[in-house]
Structure 1
Amino acid sequence: MFILAKYGDGKCSLFNPDCMVVNLVRHMKEKCGYPEETGLDLVDQNGETRGLSRYPPRTNAAKLFNDRHVYILVNIERAPDGSYRDVAPLIEGGAEAVPELYKKMTDHLQQLEMQRLEEVKRENERREKERERQRALELIEEERHHKKKVSMASPESLAVEKSTHKKTPEKSRPTSRMSLEGKGTSKVNISRGRCRKH
């Protein structure tokens, strides 16, 4: 598979797009002599750009092109936020050399910009909904913890806790037979001692 890219003063170069997008763009810049900061892209005869900068770097570029088709190298200027500013055909004479194609390119890029803004809007709405859902879950969790603390600190729970901590009175233990007998013998011994003194 290969494509033909036109640029400069009637120059053409063959490229094999069956590779990652990042590699194709780097190879085109090196071969055609454009600086790294160039927003390089390719446009077909219908004025539709391939949108190379809109795809992840490791995307296979082959699916974006038709085999053996002719494309024109263009430089797409974008703002820091990624919005479209302008497009310039990288051929001799620029936009004036291909006025009809240039108009198609600008119309196509404006449509893509509107689609991009819609995607950004939908993504922002999705993130906002996710943040609201997260806040709601946090509030529910806080309320649950609060109810748990209140229930633990209620008078009923405190009364139950106090009652469980009260010591049960020990039952009086019956005196053993040996202790009773011991007491009896001591009395007898005392009484006998007194008798002996008299």
Structure 2
Amino acid sequence: MTRVLVIWSSQHYSMFVTVLFGDCRMKMLNLNCRLINFLHHLKSRCGLASEDCVDLMDSSGRVMNLDVKQHSENPASCFLTERQLYVLLRVHRDDETGGCRYVSLLDHSNQHQPELTELMKKLSKLNKEPERRRGRGGSKKISVKKKQ
């Protein structure tokens, strides 16, 4: 009788993140690639145009600012935390003020995650203010609720 011992390595799964978007959809993406390739793959997997400006927000409400780092040759794992949940954001730039407005690409977030909607408003408002006026406020954790 031959026994086969299978060892599951947590390293195999540790280089992935989960991105939330659309109607409670999720995509697992590999961080073991250059950031520019990661963002290209993210846009194509989520049905976005390659010229769309996108970013990710972690569960604490922190925006990763990938749009300014998008041409980096560094691995995506330098900018994102493995096994983390991220919400996909579209970034709208205002050429006149130089500010950004973030829009969650998670559909119905205002109904199922009111804290996410409020956080998006605060992020967009903060980005319009000059740097010297920004304070350091606490952030809320975002929980993902499935539609019933």
Question: What TM-score do you get using the length of structure 2 for normalisation?
Answer: 0.65
Task: Select which of 10, 21, 27 maps to 2:41.
Answer: 27
Task: Select which of 92, 95, 98 maps to 2:107.
Answer: 92
Alignment of 1:56-135 (within 5 A): 57-58=71-72, 59-80=74-95, 83-108=98-123, 110-111=125-126
Superposition deviation, residue 85 in structure 1? 3.6
Unaligned runs of 5+ in 1: 119-198
Structure 1 vs Structure 2 CA RMSD: 2.5
Matched positions, count:
117
Superposition deviation, residue 104 in structure 1? 2.6
Superposition deviation, residue 43 in structure 1? 0.9
Distance 1:47 1:28 in 2: 20
Unaligned runs of 5+ in 2: 1-14, 133-148
Distance 1:28 1:82 in 2: 28
Larger Rg: 1
Question: What TM-score do you get using the length of structure 1 for normalisation?
Answer: 0.51
Alignment of 1:1-198 (within 5 A): 1-55=15-69, 57-58=71-72, 59-80=74-95, 83-108=98-123, 110-111=125-126
- Structure of higher RCO (CA pairs closer than 8 Å, 6+ residues apart): 2
Q: Which has the higher helix share?
A: 1
Q: Which has the higher strand share?
A: 2
Give yes or no for contact 1:42–1:71 (8 Å, CA) kept in 2: yes
Sequence identity percentage: 23
Task: List structure 1 segments (4+ residues) > 6 angstroms apart after TM superposition.
Answer: none
Superposition deviation, residue 83 in structure 1? 2.7
